[in-house]
Amino acid sequence: MLVSDDDMHHVLEVLSDESGAAHRAAHEYLDALTKTVLAELMGESDAKSATEREQWARAQPKFKDHLARVGQAAKADYQARQRYAAANAKLEAWRTGNANARAAERVR
């Protein structure tokens, strides 16, 4: 069989793990917060034009740190999604293998 019973136990653990939802929520929250962080920093600038204020704000360590946190959250989110997709693929392979085995038994 393509997928063993031990593999299925691992698959069920992965599919029932809710940490992926927490990673996705953190990523979405930090991503949505980006405009707020940028606006707050732009408000601190003494530049006259909006373009100059935005350029100043984007160059600030606080904004760069925020973007780094967004990147880390995105990485954790995408890793969790990939782990879930791989577990789901194993589940589908297991289901297909079992269905094929049942069909082979009926043919005999």
- 16: Cα within 13 Å, side-chain hemisphere: 6
Distance CA 29, CA 73 (A): 9
What residues contact 101, with CB distance under 8 A and at least 6 apart?
Answer: 1
- Total-model pTM: 0.79
For position 93, what pLDDT does the model report?
A: 87
User: What pLDDT sits at residue 1?
Assistant: 57
| Distance, CA of 96 to chain centre | 28
Condensed to tens digits (0 to 9), the pLDDT of residues 29-67 reads 999 999 999 999 999 999 999 999 999 999 999 999 999
Residue 19 CB contacts under 8 Å (≥ 6 apart), including other chains: 80
